[in-house]
Amino acid sequence: MNFVADASVAGSLIALLRQRGHSVTSIRDIRPDMPDDEVMQLAHSEDAILLTEDKDFGELVVRQRLPNHGVVLFRLNRIERSNRPFFACIELERLGQSMRGALTIIASTQVRVRRIV
């Protein structure tokens, strides 16, 4: 799959996704202080699903309806930090194309997929 990882996403998750054959553009590697709307534009231009821990992106896609191919919001605070990348990766691969055109919230205890496009 093709992802853009916001600066809030752990480098260990990015590395694991790349290791498993996914394409991941890391905002942290490009410009960590990139404004959220520019992050959204980059993800849209790359036909990528945006990965983030920043709830502001939910606002951008639901209320402001910025163009996107899907946003995944991680809320994994109840999972031990060292296990979060593996948990997130497994969920992303399990969900697959159902994340396209949706706001997906991957939390410690549940996963929600809300169509937005």
Q: What is the pLDDT of residues 19-62, one digit of tens each?
A: 999 999 999 999 999 999 999 999 999 999 999 999 999 888 88
Question: What is the pTM (predicted TM-score) of this model?
Answer: 0.95
Beta-strand relationship, 111-115 and 102-107: antiparallel
* Distance between CA atoms of residues 52 and 31, nearest Å: 15
CATH C-level class of 2-115? alpha beta
Q: Where are the domains of the chain?
A: 2-115
CA-based torsion, 31, 91, 111, 67: positive or negative = positive
